[in-house]
Amino acid sequence: MEAEIYDYRYPVKGCYVWRPYGMKIRRNVEKIIRKLLEDTGHEEVLFPVFIPQEFFAKEAEHFRNFEQEVFWVTKGLSGEERLILRPTSETAMYPMVKNWIYDHKDLPFKIYQIVNVFRAETKMTHPMIRLREISMFKEAHTFHADREDAERQIREAIEIYKKYFDELCVPYLLSMRPEWDKFPGAVYTIAFDTLMPDGKTLQIGTIHYLGTNFSKVFEVMYLRPDGKRDYVHITCYGISERSIAAMLAAHGDDRGLCIPPKIAPIQVVIIPIMYKEVKEKTREEAYKIKEELEKAEIRVVVDDREDKTPGWKYYYWELKGVPLRIEIGPRDIENRKVTIVRRDNFEKYEVDREELIDAVRELMEEVTKNLREQAWKNLIQHVKLATTIEEAAKLIQEGNIVEVPWCGSKECGLKLQEKTDADALGTPIDKDVNKEIQDLRDPICGQRANTLLRLSWRY
Ligand code: 5CA
């Protein structure tokens, strides 16, 4: 809020306002995900926000789980018709896609849209994290001839989201969600989770294999090469502005934000140190530098306000998370030098005026690398193995994600959650668990562990 990204004073629960500086962040993030999706053959579509009840109710499990969370439209309709506001778009899309797929040559078919969706979240809402109007829901849906091709798509989706979060410098764990916490209507759900500074994990992206669950009820079929008709296999995956919240939380400090350069609306702020006699000359030089950087496609502003001191300006732009600051004073002009200060670690560099653009580019790379590394280090430090319930509960309370040996049964999984007073993220799919569980036993039933269950406090 202080950085003028977002205003949470809007008087509707779970709805908030993006301000101009925040919108620029959103646009940059959107550009990244769009490119990743388009480069891998996903095509953009746009479906209506209204879904007829008849469509919405078709897939029983989906309906049962989402029913409590949907906003119903009851006024302004004719006759018996009832509509919902989409909480996600499976039930809007699939009855239409059914008309677009004819035979195996139409597959795979991959689409995405970036829209707002509505969920009457019953859990406590949080600005940018748990919304009732998710205003930047990036949902992809893909259609395949068989399970094998759909699972190939799941692996591609994992790579896409890895790249996406790497660009945001947000670290993640990849887990197979337990049976009892998968997406309503899915065969299985894979989730990206990150750790927030308060020690709770946040689900920042999910990938679902829907199998033929939805294609059966919506009759999404295709003609096989052998002339038989068969159901398509569907996957879907989504992220939201929650991923921006994770990015801001991961890199901020007591002075404010630190936005990764690729996403920062302003990558460099130039602050001319304007002494009386040479004021105009310094200002002129600052604008000259600005022009040069702009030519090199670097996003830059000059702060030459005369009613603010340089110190005040430093704090102001630090709060806003601008990754690099250039200071230029009369002595620098004489010596053909500039001073660059990094926002991430406040290191100062004096560089030759002639080498400025290369230096800025290089420093932006280094800031990005450092933000990513620091955040990953922090996450990894907080993932810990616990072999007893007491140990697990204690580590979770201290803000860690724990991995507990697990036999794999739902019964033991639920008990593990209950006894540690935490939520299960699922089983690791980002590492080989076999090595780790060799001699370990499930602390609930005492059986040999088949896998690990990740547990933490969750948003
Ligand atoms: N149809 C599928 C794939 S698009 C789906 O809706 N999956 S989901 O329910 O898991 O949502 C996808 C992602 O959106 C989640 O991983 C989470 O990061 C984000 N998300 C879900 N609910 C909210 C919410 N209320 N506010 C903000 N982000 C949310």
The mean predicted confidence, pLDDT, of the chain is: 97
Task: Determine, yes or no, domain membership for 143.
Answer: yes
206 shares its domain with 62: yes
Q: For the chain, give me the number of helices (H) and strands (E)?
A: 14, 23
CA of 226 to the centre of ligand 1 (A): 38
The residue-averaged pLDDT of 280-290 equals: 96
Ligand 1 pocket test, candidate residues 61, 133, 206, most atoms within 8 A of CB = 206
Task: Determine, yes or no, domain membership for 261.
Answer: no
Predicted confidence band at 320 (pLDDT cuts at 50, 70, 90)? Answer: very high
Among 184, 218, 251, where does a domain finish?
A: 251
348 shares its domain with 400: no
CA 93/CA 377 separation, integer angstroms: 40
Domain CATH number, residue 391: 3.30.110.30
The residue-averaged pLDDT of 6-21 equals: 97
| pLDDT, position 277 | 86
| pLDDT, position 121 | 94
65 shares its domain with 181: yes
Mark 353-386 as b/e (b = at least 16 C-beta within 10 Å). beebeebbbebbebbbebbbebbbeebeebbeeb
Task: Determine, yes or no, domain membership for 337.
Answer: yes
* Helix (H/G/I), strand (E/B), else coil: 168: coil
Task: Determine, yes or no, domain membership for 378.
Answer: no
* Helix (H/G/I), strand (E/B), else coil: 266: coil
Say if residues 230 and 222 touch (Cβ distance below 8 Å).
yes
Which atom, in ligand 1's list, is nearest to the CA of 191? 16
Q: Does 80 score more than 90 pLDDT?
A: no
Q: Is 113 in the pocket of ligand 1 (CB under 6 A)?
A: no
Predicted confidence band at 79 (pLDDT cuts at 50, 70, 90)? Answer: confident
CA of 239 to the centre of ligand 1 (A): 6
Select from 425, 458, 427 the least CA-distant residue to 442: 427
| pLDDT, position 419 | 97
* Structural domain span for residue 346: 268-368
CA of 135 to the centre of ligand 1 (A): 11
Q: Is 131 in the pocket of ligand 1 (CB under 6 A)?
A: yes
53 shares its domain with 158: yes
The residue-averaged pLDDT of 71-83 equals: 89
Burial (Cβ within 10 Å: 0-12, 13-18, ≥19) of residue 414: middle
Which atom, in ligand 1's list, is nearest to the CA of 204? 18
Domain CATH number, residue 95: 3.30.930.10
The residue-averaged pLDDT of 76-88 equals: 90
Predicted confidence band at 111 (pLDDT cuts at 50, 70, 90)? Answer: very high
Q: Is 231 in the pocket of ligand 1 (CB under 6 A)?
A: no
Q: Is 119 in the pocket of ligand 1 (CB under 6 A)?
A: yes
| pLDDT, position 12 | 97
Q: Is 206 in the pocket of ligand 1 (CB under 6 A)?
A: yes
Q: Is 115 in the pocket of ligand 1 (CB under 6 A)?
A: no
DSSP 287: H
Q: Is 202 in the pocket of ligand 1 (CB under 6 A)?
A: no
Question: Which stretches does DSSP call E strand in 165-239?
Answer: 173-176, 188-195, 200-211, 221-223, 229-231, 233-239
Predicted confidence band at 81 (pLDDT cuts at 50, 70, 90)? Answer: confident
21 shares its domain with 159: yes
Predicted confidence band at 78 (pLDDT cuts at 50, 70, 90)? Answer: confident
Task: Determine, yes or no, domain membership for 401.
Answer: yes
CA 78/CA 341 separation, integer angstroms: 63
Say if residues 157 and 237 touch (Cβ distance below 8 Å).
yes
Query: What is the distance of C-alpha 143 from the center of its chain?
Result: 23
CA 134/CA 140 separation, integer angstroms: 15
| pLDDT, position 400 | 98
Select from 274, 372, 363 the least CA-distant residue to 322: 363
Task: Determine, yes or no, domain membership for 260.
Answer: no
Q: Is 239 in the pocket of ligand 1 (CB under 6 A)?
A: yes
Say if residues 146 and 187 touch (Cβ distance below 8 Å).
no
Say if residues 426 and 181 touch (Cβ distance below 8 Å).
yes
Task: Report the Cα–Cα distance between both ends of the chain, in Å, rounded.
Answer: 20
| pLDDT, position 354 | 95
The residue-averaged pLDDT of 38-50 equals: 98
Task: Determine, yes or no, domain membership for 445.
Answer: yes
Domain CATH number, residue 333: 3.40.50.800
284 shares its domain with 182: no
239 shares its domain with 196: yes
199 shares its domain with 330: no
Among 221, 251, 281, where does a domain finish?
A: 251
**Residue nearest ligand 1's atom 20 by CA:** 240
73 shares its domain with 185: yes
| pLDDT, position 414 | 98
The residue-averaged pLDDT of 124-145 equals: 98
276 shares its domain with 345: yes
Q: In total, how many domains does the chain have? A: 3
75 shares its domain with 148: yes
CA 25/CA 28 separation, integer angstroms: 5
The residue-averaged pLDDT of 236-257 equals: 97
The residue-averaged pLDDT of 361-375 equals: 98
Task: Determine, yes or no, domain membership for 396.
Answer: yes
197 shares its domain with 345: no
| pLDDT, position 161 | 98
Residues 6+ apart with CB under 8 A from 359: 340, 349, 351
Say if residues 132 and 143 touch (Cβ distance below 8 Å).
no
| Axis-axis angle for helices 356-381, 242-251 (nearest 10) | 100
The residue-averaged pLDDT of 435-440 equals: 93
Among 368, 393, 409, where does a domain finish?
A: 368
